[in-house]
Amino acid sequence: MTADQLIEACQAIVGRGVKPILPEVSPLIEAYYALPGNGAGGELHIVLDDGNYQRSSVNFCIDRARKQETRWLGCVLLMLSNSQRRRM
């Protein structure tokens, strides 16, 4: 999946306005890791790799993100509950 495809998939989930389920989000996270420079979680590493699942941590990453795919995946992650983010 390219960065543009990942962005489109995230936009579709956000646009629905309904909380996604983990089987929808897991492939997006895998695609994010597969993008160049994201092997260690990229700009979302404090959430994806370091175990900081709180909304404030996701917002921190979004606020500092330089890549659009980071911002959009972060928006999808914000739609999840803390317990869902913990199980990612």
Number of independent structural domains in the chain:
1
Q: How far apart are CA 37 and CA 20, in angstroms?
A: 26
DSSP 13-80: HHHHTSPPPHHHHHHHHHHHHHSTT-TT-GGGHHHHTT---SHHHHHHHHHH--SHHHHHHHHHHHHS
The confidence score (pLDDT) of residue 38 equals 93
pLDDT (mean) for 58-68: 96
Domain that holds residue 44: 3-86
Note the pTM of the prediction, 2 decimals.
0.93
The confidence score (pLDDT) of residue 51 equals 85
Signed CA dihedral, 26, 28, 30, 33: sign only: negative
Helix, strand or coil, per DSSP, at residue 86: helix
The confidence score (pLDDT) of residue 63 equals 96
Task: Provide the token pair at 44.
Answer: 């979302």
The confidence score (pLDDT) of residue 87 equals 87
